[in-house]
Each structure stands twice: as C-alpha cells, then as structure tokens.
A and B are shown apart, each in its own frame.
Chain A
Amino acid sequence: MEQNLLLTYLLLTPIIGSVLVLFLKKEQKQLIRLFGLAVSLVAFVVSLVVYFEFNQANPQFQFIHQVIWIKSLNISYHVGVDGISLLLVLLTTFLTPLTLLSSWKAIEKNLKMFTFSMLFLEVGMLGVFISLDLFLFYIFWEAMLIPMYFIIGIWGGERRIYAAVKFFIFTMFGSLLMLVAIIWLAVYASTTLGYFTTNLIELYKVGPTIPHQIQTWMFGAFFLSFAIKVPLFPLHTWLPDAHVEAPTAGSVILAGVLLKMGTYGFVRFCLPLFPQSSVQFAPIISVVAVIGIIYGALVSMAQTDMKKLVAYSSVSHLGFVVLGIFAMTVESIQGAVIQMINHGLSTGALFLLVGVLYERTHRRDIAFYGGIAKLVPLYSTVLMIATLSSIGLPGLNGFVGEFLILIGSFKSSVLNSWWFTIFAATGVIFAAVYMLWMYQRVVFGEVKNEALKHELTDMNLREMIVIVPIFIFIVWIGVYPNMFLKLTEASTQSILQQVGTFTGNLLK
C-alpha cells in the first residue's frame, strides 16, 4: 500500500516542538511563548495542506501511513483521516495557537512546562483523531489525560487539585473498560480472521459479527468511556468543576476539543463496530441525550458563576450532538459533526471572553458585574456575537448544526418518534433564556461596581487577534456551511451504510 507521510509530519510537529521547548531557558519567557506559538502555527499550516489535498468524494480513509509496531500482535502505527476526523483535526490545530496566544499574559508560573503541556496535549488530541489502530488510539486517548491533568492541577484556580483528580478519575474509569473491550475485540478477531489485530479497518468487518449478547457488553464498554468524556448526563459532574478550575486555555481546549473526542468516538467506533447494539440502544441513549439538553440548560440558568454557566451549557449542547449521532440519519450525523465544530468555536469563544474579564478583575461571579457596556463597548459587542452564536441564531454557525440535528432526528427511522425532537427543541428556548440573561446581567444596566471603572479595560489587540479568527468561522459556517458539510458527506454515508448493511435498517 502506498504510504503517505503527511499526517505523520502533522503529528511530529508538536512532538518535536514540545521536546525542543524543554531545551529553552526558563527565563526566556518571550522566546518560549513565541516558540510555542510558532510550532502550533506550523501544525496548523500542515493540517491545511491535508485539507487541500483531501479528496472529498472519497469516503475511505486517506493519507494512510502504516508501520508495523508490535509484529506478533499485528499492532501497527496506523494513521489516516476521513472527512469527519479531518474537520476535528482542523479544529484542534486551529484552536491550539489561539489558546497559546490567549494565555500570553495569564500564564507566568512554570511557563516552559505549560507550553510543553499544551503542545503535548495537541499531540494527544491529533493522535486520537487520526489513529486507525485501536491500540494506538488508546495510547493517545490516555496520554492526553496527563497534560490536561497538569494544566488543571498546576495553573488552575483554588480547588484545582480536587478538580484535576476528579477529571482524571472519571475519565480513567471509563477508559479502562474500553481497554478491556479493545483487547477482547482483538482476541475475537483471531477467531474469525485467524489472527490477533487491532487494525480498525479490519475490525469494522469483525465487530458486527460478534454474537449479540457479547456485542452489547462491548458496546457498553466503549459507550461508557465516550459518554463520560462527552459528558453525557448524568456523568457530567466532573465537567463544571474542571472548567471552573482550569485556566482559560485549558477550558477552551477542554470544551473545544476534548469533549469532542467522546462524540467522535461514538461516530468512529460505536456505530460502525457495533451497529446492531447501536441501533438497539439508540432510543435509550437519545432519551438520555434529550434529558441532558434540558437538564444542562435548566441548571445553566441557575448558575451564578459565568464559567460554570458556560460549562453547563456545554452539557446541553453536546446533548444535541449525541442525539444527532444516534438518530442515524445523514442530516443528523452531518449536523452533529458540524455542531462539534460549532460548539468548539462558540464555547471556545465564550471561555476566552470570560477569561478576558477574569484576567482584569479576577472575578467570575455574574453578580459582581453589570453595566459594563458603558465601560467596554467593544468587549460587549464581541460577547454579544459569541452569545448569539451559542444560542443558534440563523446566519451564525450554531443554527446550522442544531437545525440539521433536529430535522434529521425528526425523520429518523431508528428513533421513530417525534418526541425526541420536540423535547430537544425546547433546548432552543432555554438557551436563549440563560445566555441572554447572563448577558443582560453582566453587560446591561448601570455600572454596578465602582471597582469595575478602574479595573476594566477594553479588548486589546492581542485579544482581538485571538477572537476574530473564531468569529470569521462563526459567520462562515453560518452563511456558507456547505463547504464543511461537503467534507463530511461521503464519510457519513459510508458509516451509515455500514450500520444499514448489518441491521437492515432503512437509513436515508
């Protein structure tokens, strides 16, 4: 098979970068910052090359690079992308430089270690999205926990240790189950294929042939691991704590990319590997997803801390994504994938903007603010745009995803009931309530605290450079989403075809 090294270069960029950072002198802070930014920008450029070389019409994995790693077990370094993973790769390489730039002033302590962690994290995230070998995937999946643990634990807020440990234990618990399932799957492959393998493409043929009862268990193990990561209600309680304690950069990456690893897992592994179980459990999972949409929104409404509010809103938004995936229509899955990107952009922007305020006043409680429209007009406008994107205003990105998910789940033959969509759509109302309410309390009215008048300054150039690229995509996806939808169309159809072949479900 022809080897393509492009993805390997992409992966190597942050690997080499993170190692090189360690050789820089601790005191040369500016150099470390610039170096980190440069490395992440190079990675972004490489990922753009991947995008331009990518053939949208081809539903297969592309840019495959496979090197035998553990020969006796048929484990290999095996990477490749399809339209879905490519979009998430782009999201990762796009957000990483922005987060580094956003922490220019915020991170002083252990800067070298921080830059190392962020680049290392990028390696983990990219690895997860491009791995085509379950063993390799699992390594990246776990490896990425380590830098995140440190980012929360070292540069976080007051209760950072509690939050970091909670984050670690929750996700670790899930992934151990997944490891067991991976090994079992590879062993089972040796009975049907005649050899032990963790090659995903080969396992796609094996998974659906697993006897029903065992498949249920396997599906459950994978599902639980991903569900914790998403996080799906009621496994979400690690998220608000992690977000509140994490530094801005950590929150952005956490919400922007890390959570998507869970939903990506559903699409890449659960559906094609265990189609029968996926179809069987789709209604139950969708019920949970819809509960999550409403629950997340309602709890958001009650929050007094801006960051926590945004964190709970993620629970709600990701409920939409999960619903879209398990509705298993082309519309809903394409909507779910684009919504993963959208959530990364709009929630990322919201966390960045909360961070902007926090950097100046060290307060996140909504009650402290009020009337800042007068003091920081530019910031208020920018926050309004992020808010509108988050509540799914047509013309901005959020609408496209939500609309496709809802319209797809409405006609879903797997769910076969309108109630999912009807209840999910109430989330659209609640989103407007909690977001606009927060906006109103923070921005409008009379200036509430005299301290604000001294402490608050408007967005500076660096902060605008961070936020404007995000906004460009927020508008772009809102007005011309087709460019992004085209990318995932063929891959989505091929996944649904896999599901349809083995379950005999009529999937349009």
Chain B
Amino acid sequence: MINLIYLTVLLPLLGFLINGLIGRKIKNEKVIGIIGSGTVGIAFVIIILAFIETLALPVENRSNTVELFTWISAAGLNIKFAYLVDQLSLTMSLIVTGVGFLIHVYSIGYMHGDKGFWRFFAYLNLFIFAMMNLVLGDNFVVLFLGWEGVGLCSYLLIGFWYDRKFEKGTTSQAAKKAFVVNRIGDFGFLLGMFLIYFTFDSLNFKEVFSRAESFPVAELTFGLIALFLFIGAAGKSAQIPLFVWLPDAMAGPTPVSALIHAATMVTAGVYMVSRASIIFASAPAVMMIVAVIGLVTAIMAASIGLVQNDIKKVLAYSTISQLGYMFLAAGVGAFSASIFHLMTHAFFKALLFLGAGSVIHGMHEEQNIQKYGGLKKYMPKTYLTFFIATLAISGVPGLSGFFSKDEILWSAYANGGFVFWLIGAITAMLTAFYMFRLVSLTFYSKERFDHHHVHPHESPAVMTVPLMILAFLSVVGGYIGIPKVFSGEHGNLFEGWLEPIYAPALAKLATFGSHSHLEEILLMAVSVAAALSAIYFSLYVYTKKLQIAENVSIKFKGIYYLLWNKYFVDEVYEAAVVEPIQKGSEKLLWKIFDVKIIDGLANGVASLVESGSGIIRKIQTGITQFYAVVMMAGIAFALLWLILSL
C-alpha cells in the first residue's frame, strides 16, 4: 500500500473534480455526500494499510519515497513530484484523513438543504487533496504546493456564504484577510526555501536534512533559514503576530472551522517545524524565539477567550492558544510532544467545533452563548460529547489532553525553565476556566433563549455519530503516549514511533537535563490541581453566581475592555499597515507620481514639441517669393563664408 500512497492524494482530487464539475447537476445530496466522504474514507483505509505495512518494517526501513514525475527542473534545481511515507507523514495523514472523513460525514447533515451543497463538498475534497500533498510531499516545494492549496481552500470556504454579512464586514472580507495574512507568512516560507536551496543546493527533505548534519554551515545561516520558515509557520498556524486571521475565519460554515481551522490546516506550521527539526535544532536562538512566541500566543489567546461570547470565537482563540502550546513544545525541543498534542487536539477540538455546530444547528444559527442556557436536556448527545471534549482540553487526568499537555509542560520545565512551566500552567488554568464557562453558559444555567421562536433540538445521527467517535478518541487517544514517568523507559509508544525522525535533531540539542521523577509528579499534581480548581470556580460562577462575573468585569473594566477588544491588534494593524499602504498607493503613487510626474513629463515634452513646431511652422509660409529670398540669402551667406575662409 505504500506504493499506492498517491491514491490518497488522487482520490480526493477525483471527488473534487466530480462534485465540482457535475455536482450542480447531480442534485441528490446523498450522492454528492457519498462521493465526497467516500473518497476520503477510502484514502483513510489506504493510509491505515500503509501504516500497518510500515509498522511491520524494521525501524531503519520505515522511511520510503514514492516518486511520480519530475515537476520543475532547471539547472541544478530538480523538484520531483514525490511522496515521503514515513512515521511523521503517516501520523499526519491518519489525522487528516481520519478526522477529515468524520467531518465529511457530519457535513452531510450540517449542510443539508444548502444550495451550495455540491460546492461545499467539492471544496472540502480539494482541501483534503491539498493537505495530503502538504503532509506527504517529499520536498519543500510539494509541501508548499499543499500549503498554498489549503490556504486557497480556506479562502474559498471562509467565504463560502459569499452573500452573508460577518460582524462588521462580509464573509468574503474575512476570507481575503485570511489569505493575505497567510501570504505574508508564505513570503517568509519562500525566502526560507531560497536560502535552503542556496545553502544546501537541494530542496528535497532527505538531501537537505542529511546535508544539514554534514555541511559546514554557519549558525547564522541556520538561524535565518529557521526564522524564515517560522514566519511561514506563524502565518499558517496563527501565531503572534500573524494570528489575526483565524478568529475571522469563523465566518465559514462550522465543519470548516472544525476541519481546517482547528484539526488540520492550522497545524501545518507545527508539522513543518517538526519536519525541519534538524534545521531548527541547529539554530538554538530561533528555537528560543519559537518557544517564547508559542508561549506568549498561548496565554494571550487564552486570556481573550475568557470574555468572548460567540461560541465559535471562544473556540477559535482556544485553538490559537493550543497551537501556541505546540510551538512551545517544538521550541524547547520536544518535537514529539508537539505532534502528540497536535493529534489529541485534532480529536477534541474537532469535536468541540462539531459540537458547537450541532448547538448552532439546533438553535437556529444563534452563536451567542449569552442566549443559550440549559441545553443539556434538549441535546443530550451533543452535551455529553462536548463535555468529554471539554474535560480533555482542560487537562483532566485520564483523558487525551492531559497526557499531551502534561508532556509539553514538563518539557517546558525541563528545557525552558520554571517560568516557561508557570506561564504554561497558568494558560492551562485559563483554558479550563473559559471552557467550563462555555459549557455552563450553553448547557447548564438558566434558559435564556426565546421559547417562542427557538426550539432547541438534537441533531440527526449523521452528525451525532461522528461526535461520539471523536469523543471516544478524545478519551483514549492519550494512552499511546503515556509519560515515561508512569510507563517506563520505552513506555511512550508515540514518542518511540516518531523517535527516528527527531533523532538527528535531538542529538544536536542534547540539553534534556536530568530531573527526578518526583519533581515531575509534583509539577503534574500542581497543574492538575490548578486546572481542577479553575473548573470548580468556573462552574460555580457561571451556574450559580453569575453576579460574580459581572462584578469582576465592572471592577476590572480596563482589562475587560482590553480583552473584549482582543488587545486592539486588528485596529493597530489597520491603522499602521493597511491604511497607509492603501492611501499611499492611491494618492501618492498613482495620482501624483504616475499621473502628474511621469505623464506630466511625457505630455510636457509633447506640448513643448507641439508649441515649438508651431513657431517653426510659421517659416513655412507657402509664399514662393519668401522662399526665393531665403534661398538667395543662403547662397549669399555660403559664398561669404567660402570667401572668408580662403
């Protein structure tokens, strides 16, 4: 099956072509839905088979390349369309196709009756196609093809309801913002690629990474490459300062938020850093930048999440925050932990978004949690699964999120220091708090919706079954990565599986200090206690004493205002970047430089010639006698000159 891996790319493409070209004529939602989900489902099966096949191979043979054809070749540059099947790409592919398949199925129910049903599934398949290129590509350029491709799908899907309003603008403005901010990141990615090619004379992963170990390259060069790549990653994975597009991306249909803006696409940056781990490990200064940006993003986004009222927005900031954790992990050298968290996050965050979608669906498109309340009894299945996901993200022991988050916090402590751990633990506390605020305001507390117009109802099975599967995964997903402190030296299966990928990078870092087991267990206990108390406090406030929340927001009005307005980052960008460029281009460059100066010059020369020839024209009188006189004068002058020069 490894040799057939390209089918997992081609099948979604086929689905896209069928639904995209003739979907409008198919009319039957079932057929469209089955084509859309089926292609991804088969791809998932193929990946599982390839995974099993790889697992059966000895460790040193687990990295295989499947070549299709030469894509771009010029001089020394030789880019092949080839896929790399190894531990990391298989892990990512399993997540993408597995979670992707569930979300496809869910969408059949969620998008039921939408006039763009076929279009939605076409885009969704196109997304899987691009995402598979991203994770399977065996060189930076194929990765970039997928990278831009998922960006395009994100653009198309955020603006899916192109005639709708979104907040202060339209969905298409949100879509454009996402694409453009991503392109700023891509600019960095491109430069990173150029520098890689310049330094290592290749863009193929295997070649570049082996040369990164053997070539004598300055640390500064490594640093620049890593920094450029990280700019790309920060764009795609919504990190400071490029995170602003993700909250707006919620303008798209909710399954899109689950698939693209939570589980898969936004994690592409994490994947890329992880893939290039040897380059990052060779640039310790940039590793530090990655860790710090991740950490600051994590706590900043979590703090914004505390006060938002739009259910999807809370989840969006939560996603940014969790992505921050992943970069924190990568930055302190715990690459495996960052991918582990990427996986568990894909389960529980996809579940949260789909659950939110189910709530929105049942509440007639209402997204304001202040207008929910007491939905538990109306939507028991949605409630239960949402609750499980909330426990998972809050880091309650035994669920998947606990294992992955704990791994990150411990690595942050061991390699980054106490402050890293502390901020990480505070973020975990905030996470538990805002998530239970969300659960309380939605499912518990008083019913605050208008019973005459809104009749909450549970969603159909096609939507709730995917929820249950994801809930199951959110619970058990963590047990493949039990921390070594509990499971022994080789007990962490996930880390062991990915170990060969990161071995060169970890050999270079080799800074994992020795800390006692007791220390680890102690810190774990502290962070768990903090999360549990945050949960208790949040439940208490938002189900029993709402008054407290109001009082706090009045007392700390300034902070509340700041958080409510998301630290005014959008406004600052608008005023400092967008406006000057727009105004400058129009007023200065076009209307003054182009029209006045250059054209003015050209037209000036033209009118000079015109008026000049107007004067000279007067000589051409047409009177023969005048010409005769001039001729005679000329002859006389010529003769005179001849005589004088003799």
Q: Which residues of A approach B to under 8 Å, CB–CB?
A: 166, 169-170, 234, 236-238, 295, 298-299, 301-303, 329-331, 334-335, 371, 373-374, 377, 388, 393-395, 399-400, 403-404, 406-408, 410-411, 418, 421-422, 425-426, 428-429, 432-433, 436-437, 440, 443-446, 479-482, 485, 489, 508
Contact = CB atoms under 8 A, between A and B. Distances in A.
B620 interface: no
Interface in B584-626: 584-586, 589-590, 594, 598-599, 602, 606
Given A166-B602, A299-B590, A395-B145, A485 B74 contact: yes
A284 to B, nearest CB: 19
16 contacts: A237-B599, A237-B602, A299-B594, A302-B589, A377-B24, A404-B77, A407-B197, A411-B194, A411-B198, A436-B180, A444-B162, A444-B172, A445-B170, A480-B71, A481-B71, A482-B71
Contact of A489 (B71, B74, B186, B193): B74
Of the candidates B72, B147, B176, B586, the one having the most CB atoms from chain A within 10 angstroms of its own CB is: B72
Nearest to A299: B590
Given A330-B74, A404-B74, A440-B175, 11 more contacts: A298-B585, A302-B582, A302-B590, A394-B149, A425-B191, A432-B183, A440-B173, A444-B159, A479-B71, A485-B73, A489-B74
Given A237-B599, A395-B149, A299 B187 contact: no
A482 B79 CA distance: 10
A410 B194 contact: yes
Given A330-B74, A371-B163, A410 B589 contact: no
B186 A428 contact: yes
A373 B162 contact: yes
Interface string B85-112: 0000000000000000000000000000
B432 interface: no
B74 A432 contact: no
A480 B589 contact: no
B187 A482 contact: no
Nearest to A297: B585
A222 B584 CA distance: 34
Interface size class of B (residues with CB under 8 A): 35 or more
A428 B585 contact: no
B551 interface: no
A443 B74 contact: no
A303 B590 CA distance: 9
A330 B179 contact: no
Contacts of B141: 394, 403
Contacts of B155: 436
B73 A436 contact: no
A403 B72 contact: yes
Q: Is the interface of A mostly helix, strand, loop or mixed?
A: helix
A496 to B, nearest CB: 10
A407 B194 contact: yes
B589 A298 contact: yes
A404 B72 CA distance: 9
Contacts of A373: 162-163
Contacts of A237: 594, 598-599, 602
B137 to A, nearest CB: 11
Contact of A436 (B69, B145, B176, B590): B176
Describe B's contact surface by its main secondary structure. helix
Contact of B184 (A295, A329, A429): A429
Given A299-B594, A440-B176, A508 B191 contact: no
Contacts of B148: 393-395, 399
Interface in B176-206: 176, 179-180, 183-184, 186-187, 190-191, 193-195, 197-198
Given A428-B183, A436-B179, A394 B144 contact: yes
Interface string B134-149: 0000000100110111
B74 A335 contact: yes
A146 to B, nearest CB: 20
A360 B585 CA distance: 31
A417 to B, nearest CB: 12
Contacts of A298: 581, 584-585, 589
Given A299-B594, A330-B74, A432 B585 contact: no
A299 B582 CA distance: 9
A411 B172 contact: no
A165 to B, nearest CB: 9
A400 B176 contact: no
Contacts of A482: 70-73
Q: Closest 7 CB pairs between A and B?
A: A302-B586, A330-B75, A444-B172, A298-B585, A394-B145, A410-B194, A444-B162
Contacts of B216: none
Give the one of B155, B162, B175, B186 with max A CB within 10 A: B162
A440 B180 CA distance: 13
A410 B197 contact: yes
B10 to A, nearest CB: 13
B76 interface: yes
B77 A331 contact: yes
Contacts of B73: 482, 485
B195 A410 contact: yes
A311 B152 CA distance: 24
A319 to B, nearest CB: 14
Contacts of A508: 75-76
Contacts of A418: 194-195
B117 to A, nearest CB: 14
A261 B373 CA distance: 69
Contacts of A485: 72-74
Contact of B163 (A303, A446, A480): A446
Contacts of B176: 433, 436-437, 440
Contacts of A395: 145, 148-149
A498 to B, nearest CB: 16
A169 B610 CA distance: 13
A477 to B, nearest CB: 10
Nearest to B171: A444
A335 B73 CA distance: 10
A421 B606 contact: no
A479 B71 CA distance: 7
Nearest to A330: B75
Contacts of A388: 152
A422 B148 CA distance: 19
A414 B585 CA distance: 31
B594 A425 contact: no
A371 B159 CA distance: 12
A27 to B, nearest CB: 40
A493 to B, nearest CB: 8
A418 B197 CA distance: 13
Contacts of B581: 298, 301
A237 B582 CA distance: 20
A377 B119 CA distance: 11
B120 to A, nearest CB: 14
B187 A429 contact: yes
A299 B581 CA distance: 10
A481 B72 CA distance: 6
A445 B194 contact: no
Given A393-B148, A433-B180, A444-B170, A299 B77 contact: no
Contacts of A331: 74-77
Contact of B606 (A169, A303, A393, A410): A169
A421 to B, nearest CB: 6
